Amino acid sequence: MACKSGGDLKTLAVVVSGMTCNHCKKAVEDAVSGVDGISSASVDLNKGLLMVVYDPELVDFTKIQDAVVRAGYGARQG
Ligand SMILES: [Cu+2]
């Protein structure tokens, strides 16, 4: 491929702890969405799961985890 942008995006499931309501859901989604290389972040509040679509050349799990922790929640790889 000649074009380097729009590379292979990956999907990651992150188990997020400490979320109790839609405010928490939005706080986590907003925090992770703001990280460079994140294409989309959506929380399933019932499952306590964050689904992240990301560019592995720009961001890794540690950076995603940092964003979740800064927002006040816990994160581990699911
Ligand atoms: Cu909440």
* Ligand 1 center to 25 CA (angstroms): 7
Structure tokens at 18: 């400490």
Residue spans of the domains in the chain: they are: 10-77
- pTM, full prediction: 0.89
Please give the pLDDT value at position 50.
98
Q: Select from 22, 15, 76, 23 the least CA-distant residue to 48.
A: 15
State the amino acid at position 64 in one-letter form: I
CA distances from 9 to 23, 40, 45, 58 (A): 28, 10, 24, 10
The CATH class for the domain spanning 10-77 reads alpha beta
Q: Which residues pair with 75 in a beta bridge?
A: 16
Distance CA(19)–CA(1), nearest Å, equals 41
Residues measured by CB to lie within 5 Å of ligand 1, the ion: 20-21, 23-24
The per-residue pLDDT for range 13-52, each reduced to its tens digit, is 999 999 999 999 999 999 999 999 999 999 999 999 999 9
